[in-house]
Chains A and B, each alone.
Chain A
Amino acid sequence: MNEREKAIASLTAERWRIALQLTAAMMFIYFGFILLIAFNRSLMGSLVLPGLSLGILLGALVIVAAWVLIYIYVRWANNNYDERIAKLLKR
């Protein structure tokens, strides 16, 4: 393996590491929500505020969490990943 191949392999490994961590976070949040629905319905039906059940609040937060995770990824990719690829291409 020459220098360039090594750099590519390590960048690949880091990209998959971050991608899989963020995927795991999304799965944890979403399946946590689904498991609460499946096994603790009365909790999800309890009211946080008049008109707002915990289930609706958490459901909306799952959508917000998807946005936040995507924001984290895009920020990493734009600030860090793209630059390192540009460096690889120059070599």
Chain B
Amino acid sequence: MKTTLGDFNPLAIAFFLLFVVSSLGITYWAAKRTKNTEQFYTAGGNISGFQNGLALAGDFMSAASFLGIAGLVALNGFDGLIYSIGFLVGWPIVMFLIAEPLRNLGKYTFADVVAFRLQQTPVRVAAAIGTLAVVSFYLIAQMVGAGNLISLLFGLPYELAVMIVGGVMLAYVIFGGMIATTWVQIIKAVLLLGGTILLAIMVLSKFGFNPLALFDAASAKYGAPVLAPGKQVANPLDAISLGMSLMFGTAGLPHILMRFYTVRDAKAARNSVMYATVLIGFFYLLTFILGFGAMVLVGQDDIKKIDAGGNMAAPLLAEVLGGDAFLGFIAAVSFATILAVVAGLTLSGAAALSHDLWVNVVRHGYANESEQLKVARAATMLLGVLAIILGIVFKGQNVAYMVGLAFAIAASANFPALLLSMLWRRFTTNGAVASMVVGTLSSLLLIYLSPTIQIDLLKQANAIFPLKNPGLVTIPLSFLVGIVVSLLSTEQLAADKFAEVEQRIQIGSEG
């Protein structure tokens, strides 16, 4: 097929400018409502459950899910669906174990919960290290994705594209804080879901509105193996390790956890996860249609010609079905998607730097409002510049893989300590710090020793660690270290305060 992808597309630019201008308008409105740290970090706790559900979906459905999974399915068939399903099953875990207790125990970051009855300084330092590791890997994935996408879609240079994303995102977060970030995420979720539904309907209209006819056409064109597990999951342990990281990673992602502080109470937190799971699950079911639709209607060869990783499958599908105008719309939606995720990530990283490290460690909890807000904005600036630098340095990295690693670190560094601190009376400061530090370092080390880095990147003959994703080892290790180190000593103060934790989990700070 002939595509105009990569050529100057005035419609795509027009859609994109419309989004940027209206979101900056929202930022201007939000900036007038962002006067203190509570508004900056949590939008004053005034977001409704439904709004937060949409914003959670907007925060979570990244370019990796939309472009990456559609591409994976288009090129590999069934194997791509393993990612779709893995990204969704983390949400019930967030619902059952994390959302409500987190809302009732914390204020701005998940470290508030872990440090609730433990010693502030060591716990917050360790939690900040874990948070920043996750945020950095996630930012790399999003910025690299943004750079590639925009240079492909709009014909701009990669570096310029990364700087535009970084700059617009910084404007949202610095001036509009969580209020602007939330509304950008809500609008993006509506646009992304709308675009996906429209694409899916147009695909299905070619197959008599019967998904099975579409799958059948795919297997007629590329053989029955596209409907069965294939080479992407050749090693069973790799499949299990990736599955564990995806399932428990969501419950340790700082930018997702932070969103639960934007609602009024635990019930609203519960409702927001319910809405988010319905929306995200629906979206991932539609990626089945988009992926196979691109496979049949665009064709694997044409997808690979534009981008070997398949990331352009969804935009190409839009072009085949709706011409230049629809391509422009989907391109702008993809850009909005990245902006919204990057804004959420930067805000959560800034909260770790300013709320956990500056206010609670350096200033021991005593810093006035204007100082806190200044430090939070400076930290945002710092992370924004870091994101731009990371995006340029890591040019060419595989986006979906980097997101998989961010999930592995989140599942190993943050999730075990967070869960144990709420669930287990005997958990101690030493146990929490050991669990978070070992979780972070062991995942980073095993990623470095994995085949992807050693063989693909450093061109070594073999890798010391056989798995691509470290979750299978590092998640149990982090739990084990937390438990064993806690059992080695007793921390009377922490055990005594556990009754207060139990009370706060149920009834918040009212009781």
Q: Which A residues have a C-beta under 8 Å from some C-beta of B?
A: 5, 8-9, 11-12, 15-16, 18-20, 22-23, 26-27, 30-31, 33-35, 37-39, 41-42, 44-45, 47, 49-53, 55-56, 59-60, 62-63, 66-67, 69-70, 73-74, 77-78, 82, 85, 88-89
Shortest C-beta distance, B30 to chain A (Å), equals 30
A69 to B281, CA, bound (A): 13
Interface set, chain B 211-251, CB cutoff 8 A to A = 211-217, 219, 224-225, 227-229, 233, 236-237, 239-240, 243, 247
Q: A9-B502, A37-B82, A50-B216 are in contact. Are A63 and B228 (CB under 8 A)?
A: no
Please indicate the chain A residues that have their CB under 8 angstroms from the CB of B499 in the complex: 5, 8-9
Chain A residues lying within 8 Å of B506, measured Cβ to Cβ, are 8, 11-12, 15, 85, 88
Is B505 part of the binding interface, using a Cβ–Cβ cutoff of 8 Å? yes
Asked if A63 and B285 make an inter-chain contact with CB atoms under 8 angstroms apart, the answer reads: yes
User: Across the interface, which residues of B come within 8 angstroms of A55, CB to CB?
Assistant: 78, 81, 227-229
* Number of interface residues, chain B, beta carbon within 8 A: 54
Q: Which residues of B contact A82 (CB under 8 A)?
A: 267
Show 7 A/B contacts (Cβ-Cβ < 8 Å), sorted by A.
A26-B89, A30-B247, A51-B212, A59-B84, A62-B85, A67-B277, A74-B274
Across the interface, which residues of B come within 8 angstroms of A66, CB to CB? 88-89, 91-92, 277, 281
Determine how close the nearest CB of chain A comes to the CB of B121; give it in whole angstroms: 28
Per a CB cutoff under 8 Å, which of A16, A41, A70 touches B229?
Answer: A41
Contact of A34 among B91, B216, B240 (CB under 8 A): B240
Report Cα–Cα, A56/B294, bound state, in Å: 17
Please indicate the chain A residues that have their CB under 8 angstroms from the CB of B284 in the complex: 63
Chain A residue with minimal CB distance to B242?
Answer: A34
Complex interface: chain A residues within 8 A of B214 (CB): 51
Q: Which residues of A contact B393 (CB under 8 A)?
A: none
The verdict on A23 contacting B92 (CB below 8 Å), with A51-B212, A82-B267 known, is yes
With contacts A37-B239, A38-B240, A73-B95 known, is A53 near B78, CB below 8 A? yes
Q: Is there contact, CB below 8 Å, between A23 and B93?
A: yes
Q: Residues of A contacting B487 with CB < 8 Å?
A: none
Please pick, from A22, A23, A85, the residue contacting B507 in the complex, using a CB distance under 8 A: A85
Q: How far is the CA of A44 from the CA of B236 in the complex (A)?
A: 14
The contact string, 1 if C-beta is below 8 Å from chain A, for chain B 495-510, is 0000100110111001
A70 and B95 contact, CB distance less than 8 A: yes
Looking at the complex, which one of A62, A74, A85 makes contact with B270 (CB distance below 8 Å)?
A74
Known interface pairs A30-B243, A44-B78, A88-B511; 20 further A-B residue pairs with C-beta atoms within 8 A, sorted by A's residue number: A5-B499, A8-B503, A8-B506, A9-B499, A23-B96, A26-B89, A34-B240, A49-B212, A51-B212, A51-B217, A51-B227, A52-B227, A59-B288, A66-B88, A66-B89, A66-B92, A66-B277, A67-B278, A74-B271, A89-B507
Query: How far, in whole Å, are A77 and B103 apart by their CA atoms in the complex?
Result: 15
If A12-B506, A51-B214, A88-B506 touch, whether A34 touches B229 (CB-CB below 8 Å) is: no
In the complex, A80→B8 CA distance in Å? 58
CB contact under 8 A between A34 and B228, given known A12-B502, A73-B95: no
Closest A residue by C-beta to B78 = A55
B88 CB to closest chain A CB (Å) equals 6
Residues of chain A lying within 8 A (CB to CB) of residue B212: 49-52
- Contact among B89, B92, B277, B288 for A56, CB-based, below 8 A: B288
Bound-state Cα–Cα, A73 to B285, Å: 22
